[in-house]
Structure 1
Amino acid sequence: MQNVSHHTNRSAEETDLSRRAAEWFALLLDDDATANDRADFRTWLESDPAHVKAYAELERLWLGSSALPEVAPPPSPTRRRVIKAGGAAVIIGTVGLGSISYLNSSRGDYRTAVGETTRITLPDGSVAELSTATAISVDFTASRRAVQLHEGEAYFTVSADAQRPFTVVAGALETTALGTQFSVAIHDNAISVAVAEHSVRVTSPFEKQDVFEGQSILFADNRLSMPTETDVGSQLSWRDGKLVFISTPFEHAVASLAKWRRGKIIVMDKALARRPVSIIVDIRRAGKILETLENGLPIRIDTYSPWLTLIYPR
């Protein structure tokens, strides 16, 4: 499945960049950082605009303000001005006017905050269960039932109505119920659909696939994967107030957990990131997620602000 592999590779590259930016961040906060360290950092920073953006994101989170703006794409590294502040932080100039994306939940008829879930009965009697940081809009007419998923994940239990198809639109992807129960989730660079009962038809601008009970599918880089057998119960365990990970790479578990709390979590060691873990986390105690991880796993957690956490092996 070329598209899934390409998506996985791109996600790995972005994770590696975040990890490298965090390594520089931690080093420069250390009182033992040398002039050579700062010179090497400047070289790394100016070598690629993506480095500037990755590091600037960490600084916004370290400063801890939800009102701090996002970084606009930099015009060129040579025009960057890097301001050194006491060997601790490097504040990046040239910023846009947007707010941090995971704090922006103004869209939609129904929405949840970070760490919140809710259950909504739709006008036709269908039920939508919204996961953390999720927003949907509803457009029901005499001939169709349409739900727009703006962000996050929603699980649908669909009431039968042969005259009005029930469709969930997420980006360029449309999922039409051929049965009753399924979820649609928007990730950073992909959209996934998982079916708990009966089947759905997933349609992209270029192809379509029927996905059956116990299967999931991924849409990334404008391509659909083939449906794959999935432990849908574990994947959708958030509906029961917990997240279940069975032999899951640690960084994948952390990425899922991070959606339930504000801020960014970075696993700093590649071997630790790949290590499979089996854990169950109570999402009703979202504020204790980091404590749960540290008590149950051989890791050390460094928290720089409520918005930025780095995880190391212990």
Structure 2
Amino acid sequence: MAERETSQSVDRAAADWVARLDRAPLSDEDIEQLEQWLAGDPRRHGALLRARAMWDYSDMGSALGPQYDPASFERKTSQIPEEKSPPQVTGRGRRPLAWLGAMAASVILTLSLTLTVEMPKAYATTLGQIQLVPLDDGSTITLNTATEVSVQYQDRQRRVRLSHGEAYFEVTADPNRPFVVEVDERRVHASKAAFVVRKLGDTHTEVIVQSGHIELSASPDDDARTTLAANSRVSLPPSAVKGNILVDRIAPDQLLRDLAWRQGKLAFQGETLAMAASAFARYSDVHIVVADPALAREPVTGLFVANDPAGFSRAVAQVFDAKLERTETEIVLTRTY
């Protein structure tokens, strides 16, 4: 097993990135490498955030002038003879100057970092929560229950990473900056479109297009793309499983039912009671348990509040003449024979 990177190594690597940013703007390949480095260890984000906090010291860097060279500054200050001092203060005459030089260098490089790369912004919802996230360009993301995304806008690309959950994207057109959603090592490319990306646990990743069109690449390094038009859907196996991308058409009324969660509802049209119980489990700590196999196969139709499994269960018990028992964490439905 590889050894965990030390904090000192993280700081040194961050300093190297800052130095590269100071020399010249990063290429697309460099930006990709930087983002991969940031994603490799959560401490790396903290290192960059600490660097940004140095902004308050920017006046100190300016005072040293544009010709400031931290290495030269350190050499020169180290050559200054130390004056004889009482024992309790010996050696302190030189260190503040060296610290000042290092601080100013950090500020100058941090300024370049801040202006070149925007830090990703994270958004997340808890169980049963739905959140609308407006973006700077007029696009929006609606997060379903228990969903986490990070957003990073760059000069040449608008990038979103979906870690888990489900999100509905309404993307405004920007010919100079494509909108890219990354999920499970795949990428969804969009210009002006409305679509859903769903990644629940280790199951398949699902993409549904409501309007416009998107392009799907099987991996970050794959130039081949599959186009999905409005009212189409694709279900992708986990990234470790290879296979062809098969696109299905989806009826408009089915699409509206699939998107009912944006209004906090769950819509069913003939799904089994077992499937409905599974859908409600995404929105509440209280789970519906259908103890009778025959009852679990009964079809369900209707529009229900997503985070109200108790109300749904009462309706089901009445329709199917079932018995309902509730504990703190479960609602058990059984047949009454």
Is the pair's TM-score, using the shorter chain for normalization, greater than 0.5?
yes
TM-score by length of 1: 0.59
SS for the counterpart of 1:256 is helix
- Which residue matches 2:274? 251
- Cα deviation, residue 178, structure 1: 4.5
**What residue number does 1:312 align with?**
334
Residue 162 of structure 1 aligns with which residue? 175
Are the aligned partners of 2:283 and 2:307 in contact in 1 as well (CA < 8 Å)? no
Q: Which residue of structure 2 lines up, in the alignment, with residue 226 of structure 1?
A: 246
Q: Structure 2 vs 1, CA of residues 304 and 160 (structure 1 numbering), >3 Å: closer, same or farther?
A: same
Alpha carbons of 1:175 and 1:271: their partners in 2 closer, same or farther (altered >3 Å)? farther
Identity of aligned residues (%): 25
* 1:279 aligned residue: 302
Contact 1:281/1:292 (CA < 8 Å) preserved in 2? no
Q: Shift of residue 109 of structure 1?
A: 1.2
Q: What code does the residue aligned with 1:132 have? A: T
Q: Answer 1 or 2: higher relative contact order, Cα 8 Å, separation at least 6.
A: 1
The structure-2 alpha-carbon separation of the partners of 1:141 and 1:296, relative to structure 1 and needing over 3 Å to count, comes to: farther
Q: What whole-Å deviation, never above 9, does each CA across 1:158-193 have from its counterpart, x for those lacking one?
A: 011111111111222321114310011112311111
Q: Which has the larger radius of gyration?
A: 2
Write the mapping of 1:1-314 to structure 2, written as runs, cut at 5 A. Answer: 109-188=122-201, 189-205=203-219, 208-221=225-238, 222=241, 223=243, 225-230=245-250, 231-283=254-306, 285=308, 288-306=311-329, 308-314=330-336
The TM-score normalised by the length of structure 2 is: 0.55
What is the SS of the residue equivalent to 1:180? strand
Classify the secondary structure of the residue corresponding to 2:192: coil
| Residues 252 and 173 (structure 1), Cα distance of their counterparts in 2 relative to 1, 3 Å cut | farther
Aligned length: 207
Q: Aligned letter for 1:160?
A: A
After superposition, what is the alpha-carbon deviation per residue over 1:39-72, rounded to whole angstroms, capped at 9, x for unaligned? xxxxxxxxxxxxxxxxxxxxxxxxxxxxxxxxxx
Q: CA deviation at 1:263?
A: 4.3
Q: Distance in 1 between matches of 2:290 and 2:261?
A: 22
Counterpart of 1:91 in structure 2 is: none
Unaligned runs of 5+ in 1: 1-107
Work out whether residues 176 and 202 of structure 1, in 8 Å CA contact, stay in contact via their aligned partners in 2: yes
* Shift of residue 285, structure 1, vs aligned partner: 4.5
Q: For each residue in 1:66-88, what CA deviation from the matched residue of structure 2 results, as whole angstroms up to 9, or x when unmatched?
A: xxxxxxxxxxxxxxxxxxxxxxx
- Per-residue Cα deviation, 1:131-175 (whole angstroms, up to 9, x for no partner): 111111111111111111122111010011111111111222321
Change (3 A) 1:298 1:142: farther
Change (3 A) 1:269 1:200: farther
Equivalent residue letter for 1:117: I
Unmatched runs of 5 consecutive residues or more in structure 2: 1-120
Give me the whole-angstrom Cα distance separating, in 1, the residues matched to 2:153 and 2:310.
37
Secondary structure at the aligned position of 1:239 is classed as helix
Cα 1:200–1:271 change in 2 (3 A) is: farther
